C-alpha cells in the first residue's frame, strides 16, 4: 500500500489542474517559531512545570503549619503560579502541534489557489504505484447508494444494472453501513475477483473474510508426499496435524483405500394409497427396470452414471435414494438433474404420483444421518498406518498401551455413552473443516464428511501401534463451486488435484478424499497422544491464547 499522499486535483473550466505541492512552496511549521529546538523547549517547560508545582506545594504546606491564609501570596508565589499556568497550557497543547502544522499548511495551500498565483515549478514525476480505490468514487455512485438506501433500487440487482461487480459490492457495502448505522471497517473490499463468484458462489457480496492458511506435512500417503493446506483460526490445529504427519512419515507412511464413490439424492413422492406407493417401490427395485432407468438418468451428464436406487416407505409416501458417480465434481447438481429426468419419466407409468420435493432428507445432505454412516455418501475411505514404538515415544511423547486404552475409553465407549452418530473419533471435523475451507469445498458438508471411527491396536507383540480411520461419507470435488476461486484453486494445485482428470475422470476427487482421510489420521494420532501425555491444556495455553489486540488490524 502506497502511504504517500498525492496532491488533489481541482476542476477549473472543465480541466483538472494540480495544486502546487509542498515541495515547491514549503509551509511553515509551528516549531519554526520557537527560539529553541522543539525537544529543548519541551524539556524546559516540563522542568518548569514540575519545579514550580513542587515549590508551591512546599509553600502551601508551610502556610498551613503556620496558620497563614493561602490567599496571601508573595511576589515569588505569584510568579510561580503564572509559570505553572503557562507551562500547563503549553503541555496541554503539546499534542496539538501536528494539528497546528496541518492548519497552517492548509492555509498556505489556500493562498496559492488565487487566480494570480505564480507559475508552478513542476514536481519530478513519481513512480506509478497502485493506490487503494475508494469505495464510493463519484457522484453517480453516491446517487446509486441513495437509491439503494431509499429502496428504489434493489440491492440484489446492482451487478446486472451496473455491469461492474466490484463497483456493485462497494455501493452495496456503503448502503448497508448507512442503513444499519454500523461500520464494516476491517472487512476488506479490494483484492478479490467479484466476477468469479457472480451467479455461482455468493450473492450480494460486501467484501470477503480473511482466513489464514497453514500447511502440514509432508504427509506420506500411498508412497507419495503431500503438503496439506489448512484454513483455520484455531491455534495448535496445524501444528498438531503436522506432528502427526511427522510420526506417520517416520514410520514408513500411511495407506488408503477408496471403498465406495457415489453421491446420492432422495426425492419424496406421494400416492393416494400405500398399496400404490408400494408398486412404485417394487418397480424401482426390480433389476429388469434398472437399465432403462439408468439410460434416462445418465442423460443429465457425461460423467453421471446411476449406481443404484434404494427405496423407503412411510405410509403412502416413498423416498427414493438415487446414487451415482459424478466424476471429479462433488456432484449435488449433477445427481439432482438425473433424478429430475427419472421423475419425469416415471410420470408416464405413474401419472398419479405427486412429487413433493426433489429432496426428502433420505439423501441425507448436511445432516448427521445413519444412512450415510451405513451406506456411505460421496467417497468412502479407510486409511491406516503402523506407528513404530520408538516414534510413539520420541515424537508423540507417550506409549502404545496408553493410546490403545485412551482410544477405547474415549473414542469408542465415551462416544457410545454420548449416543454419537458417526462421531467415534477425537476431532475429525477439525481437519475436515480446515481442508474444506482451503480447497473450496462446501463447508456445510463437513457434517457428514466428518463421520469417522478411529481404531487403535497394539501389533508386533505389543510394540507398535496400528491406527486407522474409516470415513464413509467424504463429499469433495475438484471442479465446480468454490474450487475455481483463485485461493482455493491454488491450494488444490498444491495437492496436485486441481481441476478434472482427463486420463481418469474422478481420480482427482478420489485422491483428495484420501488426502483428507490421511490428514485426519495424522490429526487423530497427534491429539490422542497429547491427551494421553497430558499436553493438551499446556499446548493450547501456549499457542491458542493471545494477548495481542488485533481488533484494529486491517488489510
* Residues tagged active-site: 234, 366, 442, 540
Residue for grid cell 508426499: 225
Residue for grid cell 475411505: 381
| Eight-state DSSP code of residue 443 | G
Q: Determine the distance from the C-alpha atom of residue 345 to the mean position of all C-alpha atoms in its chain, rounded to a whole number.
A: 43
Q: Among 439, 475, 445, 451, which Cα is nearest to 323's?
A: 475
Q: How many CB atoms lie within 10 A of CB 97?
A: 14
In what helix (H) or strand (E) does residue 540 lie, and over which residues does it extend?
helix 536-543
Q: CA-to-CA distance for 138 and 164, rounded, in angstroms?
A: 14
Question: Helix or strand or coil: residue 70?
Answer: coil
440: left (phi over 0), alpha (psi -120 to 50) or beta: left
Q: How many CB atoms lie within 10 A of CB 355?
A: 14
Name 323's Cβ contacts closer than 8 Å, sequence gap at least 6: 262, 263, 264, 306, 307, 308, 309, 310, 335, 375
- Report the chain's terminal Cα–Cα distance, integer Å: 10
Residue for grid cell 459490492: 169
Q: Determine the distance from the C-alpha atom of residue 546 to the mean position of all C-alpha atoms in its chain, rounded to a whole number.
A: 19
Q: How many CB atoms lie within 10 A of CB 196?
A: 15
Point out which residues pair with 305 in neighbouring strands: 325
Spatial contact of 443 and 488, defined as CB atoms under 8 Å apart:
no
Point out which residues pair with 378 in neighbouring strands: 262
Angle between helix axes 536-543 and 507-532 (nearest 10 degrees) is 110
Name 327's Cβ contacts closer than 8 Å, sequence gap at least 6: 301, 303, 304, 334, 479, 500, 505, 506, 509
Q: CA-to-CA distance for 480 and 457, rounded, in angstroms?
A: 40
In what helix (H) or strand (E) does residue 448 lie, and over which residues does it extend?
helix 446-449
Q: Determine the distance from the C-alpha atom of residue 224 to the mean position of all C-alpha atoms in its chain, rounded to a whole number.
A: 28
Question: Helix or strand or coil: residue 357?
Answer: strand
Dihedral sign for Cα 156, 157, 159, 160, please.
positive
Q: Among 149, 140, 146, 198, which Cα is nearest to 169's?
A: 198
Q: CA-to-CA distance for 120 and 10, rounded, in angstroms?
A: 15
Amino acid at each position: 500500500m502506497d502511504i504517500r499522499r498525492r496532491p488533489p486535483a481541482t476542476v477549473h473550466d472543465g480541466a483538472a489542474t494540480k495544486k502546487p505541492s509542498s515541495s515547491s512552496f514549503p509551509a511553515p511549521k509551528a516549531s519554526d517559531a520557537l527560539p529553541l529546538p522543539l525537544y529543548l523547549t519541551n524539556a524546559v517547560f516540563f522542568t518548569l512545570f514540575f519545579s514550580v508545582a513542587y515549590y508551591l506545594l512546599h509553600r502551601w504546606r508551610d502556610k498551613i503549619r503556620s496558620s497563614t491564609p493561602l490567599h496571601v501570596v508573595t511576589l515569588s508565589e505569584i510568579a510561580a503560579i503564572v509559570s505553572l499556568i503557562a507551562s500547563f497550557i503549553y503541555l496541554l497543547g503539546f499534542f496539538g502541534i501536528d494539528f497546528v502544522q496541518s492548519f497552517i499548511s492548509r492555509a498556505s495551500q489556500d493562498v496559492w489557489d488565487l487566480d494570480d498565483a505564480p507559475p508552478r515549478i513542476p514536481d519530478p514525476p513519481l513512480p506509478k504505484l497502485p493506490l487503494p480505490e475508494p469505495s464510493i468514487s463519484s457522484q453517480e455512485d453516491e446517487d446509486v447508494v441513495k437509491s439503494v438506501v431509499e429502496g428504489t433500487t434493489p440491492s440484489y440487482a446492482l451487478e446486472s444494472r451496473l455491469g461492474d461487480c466490484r463497483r456493485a459490492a462497494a455501493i452495496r457495502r456503503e448502503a448497508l453501513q448507512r442503513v444499519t448505522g454500523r461500520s464494516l471497517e476491517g472487512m476488506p473490499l479490494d483484492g478479490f475477483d467479484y466476477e468469479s463468484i457472480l451467479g455461482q458462489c455468493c450473492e450480494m457480496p460486501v467484501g470477503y473474510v480473511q482466513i489464514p492458511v497453514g500447511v502440514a506435512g509432508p504427509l506420506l500417503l500411498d508412497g507419495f508426499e503431500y503438503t496439506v493446506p489448512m484454513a483455520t483460526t484455531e491455534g495448535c490445529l496445524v501444528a498438531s496435524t503436522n506432528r502427526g504427519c511427522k510420526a506417520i512419515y517416520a514410520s514408513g507412511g500411511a495407506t488408503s483405500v477408496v471403498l465406495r464413490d457415489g453421491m446420492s439424492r432422495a426425492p419424496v413422492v406421494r400416492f393416494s394409497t400405500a398399496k400404490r406407493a408400494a408398486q412404485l417401490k417394487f418397480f424401482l427395485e426390480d433389476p429388469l427396470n434398472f437399465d432403462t432407468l439408468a439410460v434416462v438418468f445418465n442423460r443429465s451428464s457425461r460423467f453421471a452414471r446411476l449406481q443404484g436406487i434404494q427405496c423407503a416407505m412411510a405410509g403412502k409416501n416413498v423416498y427414493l435414494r438415487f446414487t451415482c458417480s459424478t466424476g471429479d465434481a462433488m456432484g449435488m447438481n449433477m445427481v439432482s438433474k438425473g433424478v429430475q429426468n427419472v421423475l419425469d419419466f416415471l410420470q408416464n407409468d405413474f401419472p398419479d404420483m405427486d412429487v413433493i420435493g426433489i429432496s426428502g432428507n433420505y439423501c441425507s445432505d448436511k445432516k448427521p444421518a445413519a444412512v450415510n454412516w451405513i451406506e456411505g455418501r460421496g467417497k468412502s475411505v479407510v486409511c491406516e498406518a503402523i506407528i513404530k514404538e520408538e516414534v510413539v515415544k520420541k515424537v508423540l511423547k507417550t506409549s502404545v498401551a496408553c493410546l490403545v486404552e485412551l482410544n477405547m475409553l474415549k473414542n469408542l465407549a465415551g462416544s457410545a455413552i454420548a449416543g454419537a452418530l458417526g462421531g467415534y473419533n477425537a476431532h475429525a471435523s477439525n481437519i475436515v473443516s480446515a481442508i474444506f475451507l482451503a480447497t473450496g469445498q462446501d463447508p456445510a458438508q463437513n457434517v457428514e464428511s466428518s463421520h469417522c471411527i478411529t481404531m487403535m491396536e497394539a501389533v508386533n507383540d505389543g510394540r507398535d501401534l496400528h491406527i486407522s480411520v474409516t470415513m464413509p461419507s467424504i463429499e469433495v470435488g475438484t471442479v465446480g463451486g468454490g474450487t475455481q476461486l483463485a485461493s482455493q484453486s491454488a491450494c488444490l494445485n498444491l495437492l496436485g488435484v486441481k481441476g478434472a482428470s482427463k486420463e481418469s475422470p474422478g481420480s482427482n476427487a478420489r485422491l483428495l478424499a484420501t488426502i483428507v482421510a490421511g490428514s485426519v489420521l495424522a490429526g487423530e494420532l497427534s491429539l490422542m497422544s497429547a491427551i494421553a501425555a497430558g499436553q493438551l491444556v499446556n499446548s493450547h495455553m501456549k499457542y491458542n491464547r493471545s494477548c495481542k489486540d488485533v481488533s484494529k488490524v486491517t488489510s
